[in-house]
Homo-oligomer: A and B are copies of this chain.
Amino acid sequence: MFMNFEFSENLKNVKSSEIRDLLKYTQMPGMISFGGGLPNPESFPSHEIQEILEDIMKNYASSALQYGQTDGLPLLKEQLKSYLSKDENINIETDEMMVTTGSQQALYALAKIFANPGDYVITEGPTYVGMIAALNANSVNSVSIPLDENGMKVDLLDDKIKELKSKGKKPKFIYTIPTFQNPAGYTMTLDRRKELLDVANDNSIPVIEDNPYGDLRYSGSKIQSLKAIDNYGIVTYLGTLSKVMAPGLRTGYTLSQPEVLQKFNLLKQSLDLASDSLSQYIAYEYIKKGIIYTQIPKTIELYRKKRDIMLESLDEEMQNATWSRPDGGMFLWLKLKENMDTKKMLKRAIENRIAYITGSAFYQNNPEINTIRLNFTYSSDNDIKEGVKRLAKTINEEIRNNKN
């Protein structure tokens, strides 16, 4: 009875994310999952948000329930400016900022604003799944630069750009998560940051800096963001309150040159008109009252312990792999021996009641199939210990099985 729908070609490259497909396993009884990318609800300032909501409904109910401006609540933008100045040493004008429906909206919009279908961009390899989804939805191709413990191998960047240019495929932007990278957990050194900006500017290529985890540092010293040291005016910076307030409120922000944001504003009018007003008022009060500055240290304390437990457990239990030792963020990156395939191994892992995301999910093409991303923020401390044991056991079994 139903009609045979004919769909456009626009989504031909879009696949369901492996992370979402994994969800069905993570709900099995007794499963420990290092798979998701969820903040721990213990990090949510629920009590403070409850008080903020009372204030909002008393003082601004009409505005908090009404349509807002496409570029964001002016009150929130002023608070974000002050927070960014204090916290990141980023000093901008109001017309250099836009509020977004999560950072994800910015990834989608920037892919569309800068790149035509079939165009090329440069990412890190591995890179964030949400960027891959945004590229696929816009039929944009990527070439990836590998990472080491000092972040993107920027020494390879200029040659890669020249190679692409010589083929008529000048990259439309460079996308990087320089601090506590997702999925790898590495942080780019200051020298590499400066070199990245020089190379990008020499080649007239804009840079997109995604910094969702910058506030979550558990060890080492802060390194300035690309945006803070950008003298060329080439960096578009994506921030979010998802990891320092609450992800369900879908409140992100983009900093860029006004001409880029004008394009974004026009596109956002057709994407969702404006972001949620109530959530923007919550974010406004959250920063204005200074709660963000007391909440971040609490979250750091919670997550630092979990990171340490995971690293200690890996040191004790894991024989047949190497891994990153992140100074912050939510993830670490596990590399097995080269002949291992973590996607094939997932079945055995599920049998052993341990779930993870195979590293291949973090590549648009040419994945390193012997890799795994591990999240350390969501599980209980005991589950982290037990989960690492199960994972080590799974890998050992898989190696023995491969030998037979």
Q: A interface vs B, CB < 8 Å?
A: 1-11, 14-17, 20, 38-39, 41, 44, 46, 49-50, 53-54, 57, 61-68, 70, 101-102, 104-105, 107-108, 112-116, 119, 130, 133-134, 136-138, 172, 201, 204, 206, 231-234, 242, 246-250, 257, 259-260, 263, 266-267, 269-279, 282
Contact = CB atoms under 8 A, between A and B. Distances in A.
A39 B11 CA distance: 35
Contacts of A279: 276, 278-279
A274 B269 CA distance: 18
A71 to B, nearest CB: 10
A233 B53 CA distance: 42
B271 A105 contact: yes
Of the listed residues A38, A138, A250, the one surrounded by the most CB atoms of chain B closer than 10 A to its CB is A250
B271 A248 contact: no
Contacts of A14: 266-267, 270
A49 B66 CA distance: 13
Contacts of A44: 61-62, 65-66
Of the listed residues A39, A201, A249, the one surrounded by the most CB atoms of chain B closer than 10 A to its CB is A249
Contact of A249 (B8, B65, B108): B65
A49 B8 CA distance: 40
Nearest to A62: B41
Given A116-B8, A270-B107, A270-B108, A248 B276 contact: yes
Contact of A104 (B64, B114, B273): B273
A34 to B, nearest CB: 17
A130 B272 CA distance: 9
B53 A65 contact: no
Given A57-B46, A134-B270, A266-B16, A257 B5 contact: yes
Given A39-B66, A107-B270, 20 more contacts: A1-B231, A4-B204, A5-B206, A7-B113, A14-B270, A17-B269, A38-B66, A41-B62, A53-B53, A65-B249, A66-B246, A66-B247, A68-B248, A102-B272, A108-B270, A108-B271, A130-B270, A133-B270, A276-B279, A278-B279
A65 B63 CA distance: 21
B41 A65 contact: yes
A228 to B, nearest CB: 16
A97 B367 CA distance: 35
A20 B70 contact: yes
Q: Which 4 A-B pairs have the closest CB atoms?
A: A248-B277, A65-B246, A2-B233, A41-B62
